Structure 1
């Protein structure tokens, strides 16, 4: 059991030109703030069974966390877990829990600015809206319910072999996000250009207007999102000796069953989809590692696989690249241990110079630089010296 008290503060002071609005944008105000939190945490590990038939050991774990923020109040989260070691070969495990993420000091007090968001609306021919974006001091915490269950198998007949299979299911509410600007404009501005749906909290916060053909509104981050995701993670690892060498192999594979995310007021399943700004959600991702080690050197090969995906924003015939193919990257690296204190290392990433797939919905990048390797093949060398 432990107790913790923590405080954080931040401030944002724009320059005088920005504050007066003498540049190309509207005036920007400074902001400052802080929060304080008291937390109490309790964790227990309770043995239930030991050395009986079909149960070498069974252990229950429990935890509770109470927190009190001066910004949004107090709450309690909990966790229950069960680990059942059937024998030396098989172990079962499961965990159910609640969780939360408090807004960061930057999300609360990081200040606001002006963004020219792409917005299409029948009230104007202009393709961009003047949107005030940024932090929100009224944010509450993100909350989640999680469940995981898995099995570990280490067969006695094959020493060094381990297989792990885990299932996860996560539901996140009150996710801190910025609402899609097109959705705000469509909801809060009529085709004639007058404000509508003023009884909705969304439109009250937006304070939308049309001035000289320019749509203007406020769209700060808020507790509006919902995310539901589930899937299976599989790992197989094998360690053995061959010709005096220590060899380690592992294969990690993730199967995405569901990734629902709130978009424009409704849940959209992003499984197997790639987006322009909300990430990529391949149904299968896999990493293969093979390492060889001797007394004074080691070498590693890694293969990274990303399954093909469909562009969430267009269908076949509507854009140049409605889908992206699967991609596999290969990396190699090695180290030579000169002494106990000196190590020489080097490697080549993207060994076969695999080019990133063409994807037209990511601004001017022609691909997704957060998912794919955009540099191409490159090498590196390192020298590590311990004094």
Structure 2
């Protein structure tokens, strides 16, 4: 909407929800087998015919509602924009069916074993979430901003912005940005910016809460069978977190610096290069699975006993990081080729992130940070994504036809998951062909990863590997190196191979 005094106003409202339901199939709850065997005295045949082999584990729902009111106006050489935003974040965890989480052979009051050979509770492979861990939370966020650009001269443009955000669940923050663009010649410009930033704790980091049975290797018997443990992920405001003095999550804060240039030696050719540095303080990371022995004060042991868990992990502000990198983009447009026009785009990025510090606060201050955060936690931040990526794309337009071909190179990356494995670089090719009719209708066909490239096969972190025998030293029923052919931790371009599609659109 435009007013007579030159002020333009834009009003918008968005409402979106993302839902996921998890089901576990082809598995059983072994504690339920004990319940049938000892609780009801059924025969083996009756037990086999009675055991459920699937259950709903739990559901997740993340919602976002946003109302924006934005204004912009020109005041001579000054362009001014300002506005207001109101946002509501919502997060729900819906418990699964009892068979997915229940422990049928343990007394729910005393925790005592009800039957011999007590088995771990919950359906195996992917445990469900019990009603005690259900979540239904909302938060409101109010934001205001002012952004101005001033043309000092024909060659120099400067801009500044400030933004204020107020979260009703953890506090407020104010951030700013200063930037400039200076044309040294008709073909060469330099530009730079400095800003502060923040990232509020996500709803999942604040409120995800669950205790599940997990099977781990016994440190006292590394080659022996895995043992069942009750591992809890405790929300930031849980009773256990309060008992041991876990600090409330606060926002991650960043200082951002960039400098670069734009070079346009020809009307058809443009090259931009930008160097950047990002320092993040109080980064939110998830801790190791901490046990009573890890805390010399004894508080964690008492809290774990009260919660009925063997170990606990939390989301904490516990790391500072430094990121440095460079972006290069070159475009050559309007190339006459045959009867059509070809546009070529080249883009490359090189980024390196280092964890400069890890620390513990509050009730975990007495615990060594190297115990709270493992080398795998550091590897997640530093190594699990390629440091370099290159794209080369061409768009060819002839008549009513558009053809877009892109080559995407993903560089090497390393995953630490028990062991360490470096995955090789891969080139993924995407193709799209579109025909546009004169009446506004267009049809397109295409494919992503058309040459069916896959990442390297996984050699580490292959959970549930091993041999299943009908008795110790007896016949082998199943022998498997694991259930994950490809890394379940990181796959920058996925592991589903080629994807083909067709579509239609109509412009009124």
Residue 139 of structure 1 pairs with residue 249 of structure 2: yes
Matches of residues 103-182 of structure 1 in structure 2 within 5 Å? 103-114=201-212, 116=214, 118=216, 121-122=219-220, 126=226, 129-133=229-233, 135-137=235-237, 138-155=248-265, 158-181=266-289
> Which position in structure 2 is the counterpart of 1:193?
none
Secondary structure of 1:280's partner?
coil
Aligned equivalents of 2:150 and 2:458: distance in 1? 52
8 Å Cα contact 1:151/1:165 also seen in 2: yes
Question: How far 1:8 moved relative to its partner?
Answer: 4.2
8 Å Cα contact 1:147/1:170 also seen in 2: yes
Give the greater-gyration-radius structure (CA): 2
TM-score of the two chains, using structure 1 as the length reference? 0.77
Question: How far 1:161 moved relative to its partner?
Answer: 0.7
8 Å Cα contact 2:253/2:281 also seen in 1: yes
Secondary structure of 1:381's partner?
strand
Matches of residues 248-267 of structure 1 in structure 2 within 5 Å? 248-260=343-355, 265=369
Change (3 A) 1:165 1:104: same
Residue 88 of structure 1 pairs with residue 186 of structure 2: yes
8 Å Cα contact 1:109/1:135 also seen in 2: yes
> In structure 2, which of residues 443, 447, 453 is the aligned counterpart of residue 354 of structure 1?
453
Question: How far 1:20 moved relative to its partner?
Answer: 9.8
1:259-318 CA distances to partner (integer Å, 9 max, x unpaired)? 437779369999xx986x99733232111101100121011211111123344458xxx7
Aligned equivalents of 2:200 and 2:443: distance in 1? 43
Aligned equivalents of 1:295 and 1:205: distance in 2? 73
Query: Larger RCO: Structure 1 or Structure 2 (Cα < 8 Å, ≥ 6 residues apart)?
Result: 1
Aligned equivalents of 2:84 and 2:303: distance in 1? 43
> In structure 1, which of residues 207, 210, 217 is the aligned counterpart of residue 303 of structure 2?
207
Residue 65 of structure 1 pairs with residue 159 of structure 2: no
8 Å Cα contact 2:158/2:180 also seen in 1: yes
1:54-102 CA distances to partner (integer Å, 9 max, x unpaired)? xx2x222112222333322233211111221223311211111111122
Gaps of 5+ in 1: 191-195
> In structure 2, which of residues 168, 173, 185 is the aligned counterpart of residue 75 of structure 1?
173
Matches of residues 317-336 of structure 1 in structure 2 within 5 Å? 322-336=421-435
8 Å Cα contact 1:77/1:98 also seen in 2: yes
Secondary structure of 1:189's partner?
helix
Query: Which structure has greater strand proportion?
Result: 1
Change (3 A) 1:205 1:331: farther
Matches of residues 233-244 of structure 1 in structure 2 within 5 Å? 233-242=327-336, 243-244=338-339
- Across the aligned residues of Structure 1 and Structure 2, the Cα RMSD in angstroms comes to 3.8
8 Å Cα contact 1:171/1:227 also seen in 2: yes
Query: Which structure has greater helix proportion?
Result: 2
Aligned equivalents of 2:427 and 2:232: distance in 1? 41
8 Å Cα contact 2:88/2:140 also seen in 1: yes
Gaps of 5+ in 2: 1-81, 105-120, 123-128, 238-247, 359-367, 463-482
Change (3 A) 1:309 1:274: farther
